[in-house]
């Protein structure tokens, strides 16, 4: 017999896998895809071959930067083992950008995953928030 809750965790997984396969195509029509391709403007603070960092259009703190992979991953929960180095690179870029913007002493790093996790743009991104005192727990 399956342990309690197994059905709940297994059943959504198959469609999600299909979503990932489809999403990993070259079509990235999200807002952030357009920013990567420089089709819409953004206040870019850092860029390399793998990622881009730009200021959030509706900042929740004096420093609010989004760090995104150039490769299209819709959300963290759709990343796989093959994305390990890229995910590590994103976090090290957070550290680099924090130093560059003078907030290395303390800052908050947030990834909203999925609609229920507060995600609104479905191109995975890391929020770097700083230059003000932070409260816990977050809302
Ligand atoms: P999420 O809610 O998905 O975790 O974060 C999406 C973030 O993207 C929000 O903080 C929102 O303010 C930001 N955002 C939405 N549209 C734009 C835009 O056109 N330009 C920039 N720079 N940020 C945006």
Q: How confident is the model at residue 4 (pLDDT cuts 50, 70, 90)?
A: very low
Give residue 67's Cα distance to chain centre: 7
CATH 3.30.70.20 applies to domain 6-130: no
pLDDT at 23 (0 to 100) = 43
E strands in the chain: 44-47, 51-55, 63-69, 107-110, 126-130
The CA 31 to ligand 1 mean position distance, Å, reads 9
Residue-level pLDDT at 27: 56
pTM recorded for the entire structure = 0.85
Order of strands, sheet of 51-55, starting from the edge strand that comes earlier in the sequence: 44-47, 51-55, 63-69, 126-130, 107-110
DSSP 118: T
31 lines ligand 1 (CB under 6 A): yes
User: Which atom of ligand 1 has the smallest separation from the CA of 110?
Assistant: 4
The verdict on whether 64 is a catalytic residue reads: no
69 or 11, higher pLDDT: 69
């Amino acid at each position: 017999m399956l342990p309690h809750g197994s059905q709940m965790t297994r059943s959504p997984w198959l469609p999600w896998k299909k979503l990932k396969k489809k999403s990993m195509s070259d079509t990235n029509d999200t807002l952030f895809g357009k920013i990567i391709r420089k089709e819409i403007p953004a206040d870019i603070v850092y860029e390399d071959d793998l990622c881009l960092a730009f200021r959030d259009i509706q900042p929740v703190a004096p420093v609010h930067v989004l760090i995104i992979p150039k490769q299209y991953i819709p959300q963290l929960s759709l990343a796989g083992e093959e994305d390990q180095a890229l995910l590590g690179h994103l976090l090290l870029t957070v550290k680099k950008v924090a130093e560059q913007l003078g907030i290395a002493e303390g800052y908050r790093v947030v990834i909203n995953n999925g609609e229920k996790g507060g995600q609104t743009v479905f191109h995975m991104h890391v929020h770097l928030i700083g230059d003000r005192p932070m409260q816990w727990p977050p809302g």
